[in-house]
């Protein structure tokens, strides 16, 4: 085999191949030298991935075998570095990239030769067994090593330096690896990938393949990462008929899950029948039969004309009942009366509340559950400060929380009070073994606070509400604060709107815009948009502008120019990359967040177009030193260190924004700095939790505030281009908002007040439970 040297192939050390280059790599138009015209099987491990692995498994990597190293090209879903694989393929020659090994099948390798076993044992599967110890074991037992380890592990004690603990460790690791390799071999034809097969093995052990062959649809509920589509592909391969009851039942649950992803708690019965009949191509009567069986089995709930997945029905039922029970429970009473405490707070802290704000504070402190809502500049944060000061002056305990890390950080900064995410408040935990999350705080281990304030409550979803309510003790005051006109949660439900619409929970709406806020064109225009009026786009204000561009190409060019200097000079920002944030309605398309990120990266980060710069590729993006990045999921276990103070801690949260400080290509690691001095190290797998952050969707920006916001405003699908989406984006800007696009598209979005109705029965359940309680004491 010919070895590949770095000087022979310009792919080595670079990870920024474009999709066009990927197509070149995969191209069938290759010249195959005469001496490489027969299929060749190679066994080895990948030490570096030059490109990918992509979601479909496509990769270009450096494969190291006993004979040397070569560049291998092919599909291997969830390929793992340093794991031994057997590949089947040919050597090919690509005019652009030179000689490569193109493989068409791959499997985990179970060695049978002494050399192969030595490589297997030293591949890192057994802690403490390196090349030297592996050589000693194989020298003693030869090609029977694996059989002896599996069936006569006590013979390992014959090797100097191996005691009982090491013997058991080796035996367990080898047995597990061999068993898993066997499972992998059986399941590889289903194209599941290492990660999914690993979860299957943890769940079912050696019978994983048998479970799949008996009923592949069990994977959907048991294994994270397997949906109906994948299970259906497997079912088709093993000959399961389309009208098989297991398939139809699974299809119904899949359909309801899709509706949940759109924010709905339930779907109407007739829609389930007709849509599922079309979706899984079976007669209506088969769907009706399956719905009946699912209902009998307790997997779904049929209530009048509503069909729920059971967990969402139970969540609505519990949440409504607990809210009403909190409303009727005896809670903390203020010792000197609310009016006296408000006057004392004004005097003590130099605050002057408006009559509207005083009434909001009174309403909040009189009830077990209450809502304070209002737009920007109406004083929601001032009310929170007032409540905090009153509660503290009474010597009572208080928790300040929000649905996201970014929102929690923001309310903490504006009030001076420690705040945390709801997940952290409830002491979120994760079981890697079962791949599920749970909360330490619950009905049997409740929170012990007199008052809990939930800020940015419009972002609260139904399931998180249920978990919060389970942890709230009777007697605790629960205060929801938020702007009901902003976008609802990206998950199931429309919680804040439903609580308000129930008419059972005291709600105080702030309408007065304060004088300081009135001077902000951002605030004034946001309220105009919310009322269905066109904002002032004359560009005569000093913080709100509209750049007229009639097509996407020109709009993109203008956004890049604005971010690359013009806004920096006009607003005199300290850091144009961190202080200017592009917000967009969409993820895909020319003006979607992916495209904008890629264009802005090239414009704002000089390293992104220099040859030889260290870079790591994951998903849609290639990361370079200096890139602006965002954490896109909560990770409570991620460790960080502050180098200036030598402080350490754990936790990086959804919405946290930082920059890439260093890239270690050799170890596949990337260092990111958050909050100026919080250093976090990411490995390749953890890069899935990051995204470039020059641009983000408006949905992703909820709960955040940025010095300068830039927004493309072009014609988009009606379901996306809504008034509350535009309103949410505008209210993210603190010192400046710049829209770029077509004025007619702006007008169209403002006119589109068709807030996407979500199928939810929570408001009615709260109302009904409250009315029942008024007649008779109520308990859940």
Per residue, the 3-state secondary structure of 697-726, as one string, reads EHHHHCCCCEEEEEEEECCCCCCCCCHHHH
Q: What are phi and psi of 349, to 5 degrees?
A: -110, 5
pLDDT at 34 over 50: no
pLDDT at 13 over 70: no
- pLDDT attached to residue 16: 41
Give the pLDDT confidence of 280-301 residue by residue, as tens digits.
999 999 999 999 999 999 999 9
Report the 10 Å Cβ neighbour count for 658: 23
**How many secondary structure helices (H) and strands (E) does the chain include?**
30, 30
Question: Which range, of 113-117, 194-198, 610-614, averages the lowest pLDDT?
Answer: 194-198
Mean pLDDT, rounded, for 319-346: 81
Could you tell me which residues come within 8 angstroms of residue 355 by beta carbon, excluding any fewer than 6 positions away? none
How many whole angstroms separate alpha carbon 187 and alpha carbon 208? 9
State how far the alpha carbon of 702 is from the alpha carbons of 98, 479, 594, in Å: 48, 20, 18
Could you tell me which residues come within 8 angstroms of residue 255 by beta carbon, excluding any fewer than 6 positions away? 267, 272, 275, 276, 279
Q: Give the CATH class of 533-751.
A: alpha beta
Strand partners, 74: 59, 103
Choose between 431 and 567: higher pLDDT. Answer: 567
CA atoms within 13 A on the CB side of 608: 19
pLDDT at 143 over 70: yes
Mean pLDDT, rounded, for 689-717: 94
List, as one string, the DSSP characters of 210-249.
HHHHH-TTHHHHHSTT--HHHHHHHHHHTT--TT-HHHHH
- pLDDT attached to residue 10: 31
Q: Which CATH number fits domain 6-108: 3.40.50.300, 2.40.50.140, 3.30.1360.30, 1.25.40.10?
A: 2.40.50.140
Question: Could you tell me how far CA 422 lies from the centroid of its own chain?
Answer: 16
pTM greater than the 0.75 cutoff: yes
- pLDDT attached to residue 776: 56
Strand partners, 739: 546, 711
Q: What is the mean pLDDT of the chain?
A: 86
pLDDT at 4 over 50: no
- pLDDT attached to residue 690: 96
- pLDDT attached to residue 268: 97
How many whole angstroms separate alpha carbon 197 and alpha carbon 186? 10
Q: What percent of the chain has pLDDT over 90?
A: 51
How many whole angstroms separate alpha carbon 146 and alpha carbon 175? 9
pLDDT band at 6 (very low <50, low <70, confident <90, very high): very low
Cα end-to-end span (Å), the chain: 72
How many whole angstroms separate alpha carbon 343 and alpha carbon 458? 30
Give the pLDDT confidence of 459-497 residue by residue, as tens digits.
999 999 999 999 999 999 999 999 999 999 989 999 999
The tokens describing 348, both together, are 């003590």
- pLDDT attached to residue 332: 58
Four-residue CA torsion sign, 609, 610, 611, 612? negative
Strand partners, 479: 370, 453
Mean pLDDT, rounded, for 86-100: 81
Q: Give domain limits for the chain.
A: 6-108, 114-185, 314-517, 533-751
- pLDDT attached to residue 270: 97
Choose between 387 and 174: higher pLDDT. Answer: 387
| CB distance 280 to 250 below 8 Å | no
Q: Are domains 314-517 and 533-751 of this chain identical in fold?
A: yes
Mean pLDDT, rounded, for 668-695: 92
pLDDT band at 3 (very low <50, low <70, confident <90, very high): very low
**Which strand (E) or helix (H) includes residue 768?**
helix 762-775
Q: What are phi and psi of 481, to 5 degrees?
A: -125, 130
3-state helix, strand, coil in the chain (%, to 5): 45, 20, 35
**Alpha helix ranges (H) inside 131-264:** 131-141, 145-151, 164-187, 194-204, 208-214, 218-222, 228-237, 245-261
Give the pLDDT confidence of 540-575 residue by residue, as tens digits.
889 999 999 999 999 999 999 999 989 999 999 889
pLDDT band at 163 (very low <50, low <70, confident <90, very high): confident
Question: Which range, of 93-102, 166-175, 295-304, 498-507, averages the lowest pLDDT?
Answer: 93-102
- pLDDT attached to residue 515: 55
Could you tell me which residues come within 8 angstroms of residue 557 by beta carbon, excluding any fewer than 6 positions away? none
The fold of the 114-185 domain, in CATH, is: DNA polymerase; domain 1 (1.10.150)
pLDDT band at 222 (very low <50, low <70, confident <90, very high): confident
The fold of the 314-517 domain, in CATH, is: Rossmann fold (3.40.50)
Upstream peptide bond of 53 is cis (omega within 30 degrees of 0): yes
Residue 522 gets the label, from left (phi > 0), alpha (psi -120 to 50) or beta, of: alpha
| CB distance 261 to 239 below 8 Å | no
Question: Which range, of 79-88, 187-196, 660-669, averages the lowest pLDDT?
Answer: 187-196
Could you tell me which residues come within 8 angstroms of residue 144 by beta carbon, excluding any fewer than 6 positions away? none
**Which strand (E) or helix (H) includes residue 615?**
strand 615-618
| CB distance 371 to 401 below 8 Å | no
Of residues 270, 273, 271, the one with CA closest to residue 262: 271
pLDDT band at 213 (very low <50, low <70, confident <90, very high): confident
Of residues 548, 511, 601, the one with CA closest to residue 746: 548
């Amino acid at each position: 085999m010919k070895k590949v040297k770095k000087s022979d192939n310009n792919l080595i050390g670079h990870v920024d191949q474009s999709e066009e280059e990927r197509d070149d790599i995969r191209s069938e138009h290759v010249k195959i030298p005469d001496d490489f015209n027969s299929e060749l099987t190679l066994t080895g491990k990948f030490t570096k991935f030059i490109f990918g692995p992509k979601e479909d498994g496509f990769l270009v990597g450096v494969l190291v075998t006993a004979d040397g190293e070569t560049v291998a090209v092919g599909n291997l879903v969830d390929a793992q570095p340093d794991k031994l694989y057997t590949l089947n393929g040919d050597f090919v020659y690509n005019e652009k990239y030179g000689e490569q090994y193109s493989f068409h099948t791959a499997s985990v390798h179970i060695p049978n030769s002494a050399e192969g076993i030595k490589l297997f044992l030293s591949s890192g599967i057994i802690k403490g067994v390196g090349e030297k110890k592996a050589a000693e074991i194989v020298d003693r037992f030869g090609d029977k090593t694996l059989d002896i380890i599996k069936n006569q592990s006590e013979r390992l004690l014959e090797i100097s330096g191996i005691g009982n603990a090491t013997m058991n460790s080796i035996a367990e690791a080898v047995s597990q690896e061999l068993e898993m390799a066997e499972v992998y071999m059986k399941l590889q034809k289903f194209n599941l990938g290492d990660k999914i097969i690993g979860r299957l093995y943890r769940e079912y052990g050696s019978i994983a393949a048998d479970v799949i062959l008996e009923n592949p649809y069990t994977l959907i509920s048991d294994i994270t990462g397997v949906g109906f589509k994948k299970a259906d592909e497997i079912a088709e391969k093993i000959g399961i008929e389309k009208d098989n009851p297991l398939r139809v039942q699974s299809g119904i649950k899949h359909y309801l899950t899709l509706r949940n992803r759109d924010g709905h708690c339930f779907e109407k019965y007739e829609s389930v029948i007709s849509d599922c009949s079309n979706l899984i191509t079976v007669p209506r009567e088969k769907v009706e039969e399956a719905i009946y069986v699912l209902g009998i089995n307790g997997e779904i709930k049929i209530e009048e004309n509503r069909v729920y997945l059971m967990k969402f029905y139970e969540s609505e039922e519990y949440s409504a009942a607990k809210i009403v029970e909190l409303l009727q429970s005896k809670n903390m009473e203020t010792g000197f009366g609310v009016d006296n405490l408000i006057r004392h707070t004004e005097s003590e802290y130099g605050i002057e509340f408006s009559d509207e704000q005083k009434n909001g504070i009174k309403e909040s402190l009189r009830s077990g559950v209450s809502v304070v809502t209002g737009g920007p500049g109406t004083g929601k944060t001032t009310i929170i400060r007032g409540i905090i000061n009153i509660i503290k002056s009474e010597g009572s305990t208080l928790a300040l929380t929000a649905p996201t890390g970014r929102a929690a950080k923001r309310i903490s900064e504006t009030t001076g009070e420690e705040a945390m995410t709801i997940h952290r408040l409830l002491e979120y935990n994760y079981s890697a073994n079962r791949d599920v999350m749970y909360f330490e705080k619950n009905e049997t281990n409740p929170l012990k606070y007199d008052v809990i304030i939930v800020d940015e409550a419009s972002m609260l979803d139904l399931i998180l509400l249920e978990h919060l309510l389970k942890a709230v003790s009777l007697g605790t005051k629960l205060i929801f604060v938020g702007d009901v006109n902003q976008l609802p949660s990206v998950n199931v439900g429309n919680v804040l709107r439903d609580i308000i619409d129930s008419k059972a929970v005291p709600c105080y709406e702030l309408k007065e815009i304060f004088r300081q806020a009135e001077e902000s064109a951002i605030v004034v225009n946001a309220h105009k948009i919310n009322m269905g009026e066109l904002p002032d786009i004359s560009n005569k204000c000093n913080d709100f502008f509209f750049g007229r561009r009639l097509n996407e190409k020109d709009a993109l060019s203008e956004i890049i120019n604005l971010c690359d200097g013009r806004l920096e000079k006009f607003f005199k920002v300290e850091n144009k990359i961190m202080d200017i944030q592009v917000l967009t309605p969409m993820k895909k398309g020319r003006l979607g967040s992916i495209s904008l990120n890629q264009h802005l990266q090239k414009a704002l980060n000089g390293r992104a177009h220099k040859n030889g710069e260290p870079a790591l590729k994951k998903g849609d993006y290639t990361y370079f030193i200096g890139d602006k990045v965002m954490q896109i999921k909560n990770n409570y276990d991620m460790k960080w260190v502050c180098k200036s103070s030598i402080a350490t801690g754990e936790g990086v949260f959804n919405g946290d924004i930082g920059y890439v400080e260093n890239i270690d290509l050799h170890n596949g690691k990337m260092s990111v700095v958050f909050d100026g001095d919080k250093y976090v190290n990411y490995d390749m797998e953890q890069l899935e939790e990051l995204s470039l952050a020059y641009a983000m969707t408006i949905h992703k920006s909820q709960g955040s505030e940025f010095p300068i916001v830039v927004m493309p405003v072009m014609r988009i699908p009606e379901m996306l281009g809504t008034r509350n989406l535009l309103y949410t984006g505008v209210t993210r800007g603190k010192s400046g908002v710049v829209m770029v696009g077509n004025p007619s598209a702006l007008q169209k979005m403002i006119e589109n007040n068709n807030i996407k109705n979500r199928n939810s029965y929570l408001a009615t359940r709260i109302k009904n439970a409250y009315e029942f309680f008024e007649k008779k004491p109520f308990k859940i």
